[in-house]
Amino acid sequence: MGGAVDRAWLAARSLVSSGAGLLHRCGAALSNVGLWRDLVVVGPRALGLVERSATGRSRGRSETEGSPARPRSLRLAAHAAVDEILVALVKSARRPLSVGDAERVRTETLEALELFGRCGLLDRPAEYHRTPPPPAAVRIAPAGAPGLRFEELVWASGYEPPVGEPGRERWMGFEANHTAYARMLRHPGGPRPWLVCIPGAGMGNAALDLAVFRAARLHKTLGLNVALPVLPRHGPRKAGEALDIRFPSEDLLDNVHGLAQAVWDIRGLLSWLRAEEAEAIGIQGVSLGAYVAALCAAFDDDLACVIAGVPASDLSALFRHHIPPVRRGPSPHLTQEAHLVHKVVSPLALRPLVPTERRFIFAGLADRMAHPVHQVHELWLHWDRPRIAWYAGSHMGFVRSRVVREFVSRALEESGLVR
């Protein structure tokens, strides 16, 4: 049996290598050289990822403490390849910084670091975040997505970067971002537990968000009220702008303000839910939403649980991982200063107030976006090694994963949200 697996593996490697060579020859004739350069290496990188892990396992090693070794599996390699293709497409869609913008980002970063250092915020990053007032003048309107009706909660965000902070005027100029949104599924009758589901980067479309979180199951089968906030500069909060992802980006102060506003808006939403007599509230986030959920856990000790799915936890490391050294150049988001300026909005710099037994993480063994070591492992350690579930799949593979579905259900039951 082992010989057959090895033969299949060698055949797959040969096929991928041949295909990579063909892609390379075809790609040379196309204008987007960077995209083709990334696509050429998708197959070899995916197979190499799984093969390295399997070799390590055979020698008694695991890639990282707390995670199982990846099996030598063509299916797992295919999952990794899907992620590699998505990463390549996202990178190709991003508008690179001009020379002038890159210099502006460097200047803003140095000015912000000087300001943060003078105010002691690099040592006490929690003080960077102010407590928002409860949302005022809230509007609730019926809305719908294919197969599901929901309500849309709308309010004025009220978030403003501190006066005098670099990038403040630019951030305040994003008019559509001043309005906050959350989609809700509510049961009639008395108070119920709520689960706040925070979508990831590039989401914000109601139908997509509801499907990714299996919101209908959470609402109808598990009996929860569900709220899905829209992150800053996502969905209707970037009306009229380009379709590519503008937050997070290489504009480092935009990242700082976007994450600070995300925490501000969600804390405001939590206060509104409590005023509506929520029995208990838990938070679940995926990808960038998990990053935001981890930040929120540092400011609210009354959360029933916080579930971080395929979490990002270090934006600087995320950029470094996805941009190979040959293409980095003098990018301002790859410097030590970039790492430091994100510290005021880093879940790795803030201690969670939610007890360890109410912290949960799930992650994909073939995830090539939120890297199992650079992102997931670091959050797991910082969170004092809470329960973690690993599924055999890519970044978005959790959507169809039975392992994740059962893990989340158990987390909700143990947290008292689901009876």
Residues in the chain: 419
- Domain C-terminal end among 75, 93, 111: 93
3-state secondary structure 298-320: CCCCCCCEEEEECCCCCHHHHHH
Print burial letters for 214-236: b (CB count within 10 Å at least 16), e (below 16).
Answer: bbbebbeebebbbbbbbbbbbbe
Where among 93, 125, 155 does a domain terminate?
93
Characterise 359 by phi-psi region: left (phi > 0), alpha (psi -120 to 50), beta (else).
beta
**Residues 54, 180: one domain?**
no
Number of domains comprising the chain = 2
306 within a domain of the structure (yes/no): yes
Fill in the DSSP letter of residue 3.
Answer: H
Whether residues 258 and 305 fall in one domain: yes
Q: What count of Cα atoms within 13 Å lies in the side-chain half-sphere of residue 76? A: 21
Q: With CA atoms as reference, report the closest residue to 359 among 290, 264, 263.
A: 290
Kindly list the distances between the CA atom of residue 33 and the CA atoms of 23, 28, 97, 177, 286, in Å, as whole numbers in the listed order.
11, 7, 17, 34, 31
CA–CA–CA angle 181, 182, 186 (5° rounding): 150
If asked whether residues 17 and 108 sit together in one domain, one would say no
242 with 313, same domain? yes
Q: Is 419 within the bounds of a domain?
A: no
Question: CA dist 185 to 153, 165, 194, Å?
Answer: 11, 38, 10
Residues 132 and 55 in one domain: no
Cβ pair 315, 342 in contact under 8 A? yes
73 and 141 assigned to the same domain: no
Q: Copy the structure tokens of residue 298.
A: 């540092």
Q: What is the CATH number of the domain that holds 360?
A: 3.40.50.1820
Of 93, 111, 130, the position where a domain reaches its end is 93
Domain boundaries, position 170: 99-414
Task: Output DSSP code: residue 119.
Answer: H
The verdict on pTM exceeding 0.75 is yes
Q: Is 246 part of any domain?
A: yes
Angle between helical axes of 252-275 and 99-119 (0-180°, round to 10)? 60
Domain check: are 87 and 187 in the same one? no
Distance (Å, whole) CA 216 – CA 280: 19
- Residue by residue, pLDDT tens for the chain (419 residues) are 455 544 444 444 444 444 444 344 444 434 444 444 444 444 444 445 554 444 334 333 344 455 665 555 556 666 566 666 666 555 555 566 778 888 999 999 999 999 999 999 999 999 999 999 999 889 999 998 777 899 999 999 999 999 999 999 999 999 999 999 999 999 998 899 999 999 999 899 999 999 999 999 999 999 999 999 999 999 999 876 655 677 888 889 999 999 999 999 999 999 999 999 899 999 999 999 999 999 999 999 999 999 999 999 998 888 776 565 444 445 555 578 888 999 999 999 999 999 999 999 999 988 878 888 889 999 999 999 999 999 988 888 899 899 999 999 999 999 999 98
**In a 3-state reduction of DSSP, which class is residue 150?**
strand
Q: Which residue's entry shows tokens 């093969």? A: 51
